[in-house]
A and B are shown apart, each in its own frame.
Chain A
């Protein structure tokens, strides 16, 4: 009798051990899922770029993605048919709640507000930068914002 009771307890003990592990795995899975949802729900504030190249008429472009690559390559987000622009010249990225401009090791460099860019730099509305002989001016539209991280966490926890 004692043996059967203790055997049942032993099985429940194993269940508890694996309950711990299973629960940990479940929470880890949920963390991955939440992280994914979080990133998927992240809204990037729109950015408008005006590209002026020599005498040609300026082109206005709108973006709602977190990464914009500028270069001579036709696959770039902003392709510029200008020999003074490198294949992949510079990129604009959105992280830490800011838009950043970064030179991708271009031949002629990127100049932001008349200063040569040496490290990723935060940009704001009205800034202007030059790739080769192409001038690009920036306009941010602050009305579209990302959802705050905290609130999403709490919502998923319930």
Chain B
């Protein structure tokens, strides 16, 4: 009966892992969306070694322990296999090592099954075992290393294999404490002397671990000591005392031990420093969020973004690729082991076996909850492993030895349990562990479902730029559908190419290191396919591939011939040019110099962003310059020959929108909060909107640069501005003013002005078509960061002649 149950469960486990391995093999095809890829095969070694070992162990268990609990071993086998395949997926080198460690662990497990079944040797040699463990752990003080080459030196290593003695030390402490306490028949808290040996031994171990900075293991030790003592005495005040002690220890550690301070800060406020101390926890939460409900599928997510995903953060890695539904299964498996373990403890035939089983359940439960809670930001991070699942030979071996002890205790030939004077401590322990599992499920749902949409949109979520390599981004096109920014390459190596680099301050860039700027940033939702596509398509692509659907092309109002001319004219002069349709507000050309080449961002990004000439700034929309008497045509149109007072002028400027942010979906200068006539500064864009009223019969246009987006269902869809243009002035007054400023022999009016800005002089020029011009009404503004009226006139004639003759 037991054998049958165990074999059937193992069959399910093998089926599950077979499917996981198959998905992992196919995963490159999904990522690159083609069948022509290099399939992943190496992890099948891990799968078949696992299968063989499990079959052998199943045989040995059936022969040696006919009456053992049949659920424990299949659950542990599934967890260890799941961990093994996940480690292969994350890092093949570590996968191979873990396969060796699993073989060692299961062979030791099988050999241990041939030891006497009464476990008296554990009881008799408890001091020897514990002090042996302590001694080996103490050796790490002298000979300790860290396989990573930095960090706490907790390992003893030789020939490429490392062993962490503090892992088995936990099990040895459980054995010692339970063996000692089981011998003392009636323990009362008042009988202090009885407890002194356990206190001494536990403190010794703690001291060792605190010196070693192995604080995760130290907190497990305190929990183990407390709970085992609680089980033996049944006094609840021990639990409260331990909570108080842990709080005080945390408080003291916070002030004296740097790593605790860092961890606590990262825990309480991770969003303050997401790139520094809280990097691990933020990335772990992002991985859980990216998993969502179904998970991305093994091999299709990006769990390697989380540091040490193979050991400390393996729960986050599994959550990303198996989703909420998978982690609930994982937690249920852990609960199956813990729950069955507690039943084994209750049914045990003597006190030692009962305490030992309960102690092992405590050890497995506390350690699992500590690290899963750390991954989910329920608890501060502690660098402990997830039993059976995480990478690590010492952890795996210890977990299997713990399993061995539980199985031996469960093998009851005489089913007469020992007397249980007070069942309460056991039900309280079961309650604590069940509540811990439940809280972990809730926290995973919180990050994976409730908070996921917000989290995944964070700019420090590297999955966005990874998706950019696999999904084609939409093109940015000019007015006549000529490409400006396009994506080249094949799935897996897509790269943004900027065909017209001079437009860089306006169209910006999208880069895995430097993020996004300009129109690439403000139009990102369309270019990335998250807006404009039907939501069912977005959902389907995200479910299948974990990426957005192919991006949509966006058409700008920029007219490339005019743009080229404007860039040529500006040349090496710092400044900006804006050419706008005075009626519709469509921006036909927008130049900002000096500019930069976004194609070279990878190599020169740092130099570009730190350059004194600030090429990243879009001078046309973000550059604020002092104004001089540039706006006198506008004053004349409003007030005629009257002399307005300052407050009237400011009110007028305010209605012209000179102090607020123009509604254009790209970065613009912030609004001016306390404007004054003498110190006011405006951007060329703001000036062009205000001045447009002279060429547009007294009406202000709404500026536009992104005209339309090419959606799969409806073709080109116009992106209309939110605002309606407003009538500012009677058209007679504005037309009269335009006539007053008309350029001799030309169909346009113009005004120039020089303004001092510290040591430099700003040359302003505004020009516009006359009101009765039959073609497109145009407004042109240039601001040069030098005293150069000649160039300003040249710009005016060249651009307006070209634009008006089109």
In the complex, how many residue pairs between chain A and chain B have their CB atoms under 8 Å apart?
Answer: 85
- The answer to whether A16 and B297 have CB atoms under 8 Å apart is no
B27 proximal to A (CB < 8 A): yes
Whole-angstrom CA separation of A24 from B11 in the bound complex: 12
Query: Which stretch (B28-36, B222-230, B557-565) binds chain A?
Result: B28-36
Q: Which residues of A have CB within 8 Å of B71?
A: 24, 27-28
Q: Which residues of A have CB within 8 Å of B13?
A: 20
**Most chain-B Cβ atoms within 10 A of its Cβ — which of A19, A20, A154?**
A20
Task: Rank and list the top 10 A-B pairs by shortest CB-CB distance, nearest first.
Answer: A3-B544, A16-B16, A20-B12, A2-B29, A13-B19, A17-B329, A10-B297, A2-B30, A16-B15, A6-B30
- The answer to whether B336 and A24 have CB atoms under 8 Å apart is yes
A23 proximal to B (CB < 8 A): yes
B74 proximal to A (CB < 8 A): yes
- The answer to whether B26 and A10 have CB atoms under 8 Å apart is no
- The answer to whether B19 and A9 have CB atoms under 8 Å apart is yes
- The answer to whether A9 and B336 have CB atoms under 8 Å apart is no
Q: Which residues of A have CB within 8 Å of B277?
A: none
Q: Which residues of A have CB within 8 Å of B545?
A: 3
Given A2-B35, A10-B295, also A21-B336 (CB < 8 A): yes
Whole-angstrom CA separation of A17 from B329 in the bound complex: 7
Q: Which residues of A have CB within 8 Å of B29?
A: 2, 6
Whole-angstrom CA separation of A5 from B25 in the bound complex: 12
Say which residue of A3, A14, A23 sits within 8 Å of B12 (CB atoms).
A23
B104 proximal to A (CB < 8 A): no
- The answer to whether A7 and B544 have CB atoms under 8 Å apart is yes
Whole-angstrom CA separation of A25 from B545 in the bound complex: 33
- The answer to whether B30 and A24 have CB atoms under 8 Å apart is no
Return the chain B residue nearest A1 by Cβ.
B35
A145 proximal to B (CB < 8 A): no
- The answer to whether A13 and B20 have CB atoms under 8 Å apart is yes
Which residues of A, 1-58, contact B by the 8 Å Cβ criterion?
1-7, 9-10, 12-14, 16-21, 23-24, 27-28
Interface string of B758-788 (1 = CB under 8 A from A): 0000000000000000000000000000000
Give, as a whole number of angstroms, the nearest-CB distance from A115 to chain B: 24
A127 proximal to B (CB < 8 A): no
- The answer to whether A10 and B332 have CB atoms under 8 Å apart is no
Interface string of B323-342 (1 = CB under 8 A from A): 00110010011001000000
- The answer to whether A2 and B33 have CB atoms under 8 Å apart is yes
Q: Which residues of B have CB within 8 Å of A77?
A: none
Whole-angstrom CA separation of A13 from B85 in the bound complex: 14
Q: Which residues of A are interface residues toward B (Cβ below 8 A)?
A: 1-7, 9-10, 12-14, 16-21, 23-24, 27-28, 96, 153-154, 157
B75 proximal to A (CB < 8 A): yes
Q: Which residues of A have CB within 8 Å of B322?
A: 14
B1 proximal to A (CB < 8 A): yes
Whole-angstrom CA separation of A23 from B1 in the bound complex: 14
- The answer to whether A23 and B9 have CB atoms under 8 Å apart is yes
Given A3-B545, A24-B336, also A9-B22 (CB < 8 A): yes
- The answer to whether A16 and B5 have CB atoms under 8 Å apart is no
- The answer to whether A153 and B1 have CB atoms under 8 Å apart is yes
B413 proximal to A (CB < 8 A): no
Give, as a whole number of angstroms, the nearest-CB distance from A14 to chain B: 5
Q: Which residues of B have CB within 8 Å of A10?
A: 23, 294-295, 297
B8 proximal to A (CB < 8 A): yes
Return the chain B residue nearest A34 by Cβ.
B1
Which residues of B, 637-695, contact A by the 8 Å Cβ criterion?
none
B722 proximal to A (CB < 8 A): no
Q: Which residues of A have CB within 8 Å of B1?
A: 153-154, 157
Whole-angstrom CA separation of A103 from B70 in the bound complex: 39
Return the chain B residue nearest A150 by Cβ.
B1
Q: Which residues of A have CB within 8 Å of B329?
A: 14, 17-18, 20-21
B300 proximal to A (CB < 8 A): yes
Given A6-B23, A13-B20, A14-B325, also A19-B544 (CB < 8 A): no
Q: Which residues of B have CB within 8 Å of A23?
A: 8-9, 12
Whole-angstrom CA separation of A21 from B4 in the bound complex: 16
Give, as a whole number of angstroms, the nearest-CB distance from A11 to chain B: 8
- The answer to whether A157 and B4 have CB atoms under 8 Å apart is yes
Q: Which residues of B have CB within 8 Å of A20?
A: 9, 12-13, 16, 74, 78, 329, 333
Whole-angstrom CA separation of A3 from B71 in the bound complex: 35
Whole-angstrom CA separation of A28 from B336 in the bound complex: 11
Whole-angstrom CA separation of A23 from B5 in the bound complex: 9
Q: Which residues of A have CB within 8 Å of B19?
A: 9, 12-13, 16
- The answer to whether A9 and B15 have CB atoms under 8 Å apart is no
B203 proximal to A (CB < 8 A): no
Given A3-B33, A16-B15, also A21-B543 (CB < 8 A): no
Give, as a whole number of angstroms, the nearest-CB distance from B670 to chain A: 44
- The answer to whether A5 and B26 have CB atoms under 8 Å apart is yes
Give, as a whole number of angstroms, the nearest-CB distance from A34 to chain B: 9
Give, as a whole number of angstroms, the nearest-CB distance from A90 to chain B: 20
Give, as a whole number of angstroms, the nearest-CB distance from A28 to chain B: 7
B454 proximal to A (CB < 8 A): no
Whole-angstrom CA separation of A10 from B333 in the bound complex: 19
Whole-angstrom CA separation of A80 from B416 in the bound complex: 32
Give, as a whole number of angstroms, the nearest-CB distance from B445 to chain A: 16
Whole-angstrom CA separation of A100 from B27 in the bound complex: 66
- The answer to whether A4 and B544 have CB atoms under 8 Å apart is yes
Whole-angstrom CA separation of A6 from B32 in the bound complex: 13
Given A7-B544, A14-B326, A28-B71, also A21-B16 (CB < 8 A): no
- The answer to whether B300 and A6 have CB atoms under 8 Å apart is yes
Give, as a whole number of angstroms, the nearest-CB distance from A149 to chain B: 9
Whole-angstrom CA separation of A27 from B2 in the bound complex: 10
Give, as a whole number of angstroms, the nearest-CB distance from A1 to chain B: 8
Whole-angstrom CA separation of A157 from B300 in the bound complex: 42
- The answer to whether A7 and B325 have CB atoms under 8 Å apart is no
Give, as a whole number of angstroms, the nearest-CB distance from B39 to chain A: 11
Whole-angstrom CA separation of A5 from B322 in the bound complex: 16
Whole-angstrom CA separation of A84 from B9 in the bound complex: 60
Whole-angstrom CA separation of A3 from B23 in the bound complex: 10
20 A-B pairs with CB atoms under 8 Å apart are A2-B29, A2-B34, A5-B26, A6-B26, A6-B300, A6-B544, A9-B297, A10-B295, A12-B19, A14-B294, A14-B322, A16-B19, A17-B326, A17-B329, A20-B9, A20-B16, A20-B74, A20-B78, A21-B329, A24-B336
Give, as a whole number of angstroms, the nearest-CB distance from B329 to chain A: 4
- The answer to whether B9 and A24 have CB atoms under 8 Å apart is yes
Give, as a whole number of angstroms, the nearest-CB distance from B36 to chain A: 11
Whole-angstrom CA separation of A157 from B13 in the bound complex: 22
Q: Which residues of A have CB within 8 Å of B297?
A: 6-7, 9-10
Q: Which residues of B have CB within 8 Å of A2?
A: 26, 29-30, 33-35
Q: Which residues of A have CB within 8 Å of B544?
A: 3-4, 6-7
- The answer to whether B416 and A96 have CB atoms under 8 Å apart is yes
Return the chain B residue nearest A2 by Cβ.
B29
Return the chain B residue nearest A20 by Cβ.
B12
Whole-angstrom CA separation of A3 from B32 in the bound complex: 10
- The answer to whether A3 and B30 have CB atoms under 8 Å apart is yes
Given A20-B12, A20-B13, also A9-B543 (CB < 8 A): no
Q: Which residues of A have CB within 8 Å of B30?
A: 2-3, 6
Q: Which residues of A have CB within 8 Å of B12?
A: 16, 19-20, 23
Q: Which residues of B have CB within 8 Å of A18?
A: 329
Q: Which residues of A have CB within 8 Å of B35?
A: 1-2
Whole-angstrom CA separation of A7 from B8 in the bound complex: 26
Whole-angstrom CA separation of A130 from B285 in the bound complex: 73
Q: A6-B30, A23-B12 are in contact. List 18 more A-B contacts (CB 8 A).
A: A2-B29, A2-B35, A3-B33, A5-B26, A9-B19, A9-B22, A10-B297, A13-B23, A14-B322, A16-B12, A17-B16, A19-B12, A20-B13, A20-B78, A20-B329, A21-B329, A23-B8, A154-B1
Whole-angstrom CA separation of A10 from B13 in the bound complex: 15
Q: Which residues of B have CB within 8 Å of A7?
A: 297, 543-544
**Most chain-B Cβ atoms within 10 A of its Cβ — which of A3, A17, A19?**
A17
Q: Which residues of B have CB within 8 Å of A96?
A: 416
Which residues of B, 284-343, contact A by the 8 Å Cβ criterion?
294-295, 297, 300, 322, 325-326, 329, 332-333, 336
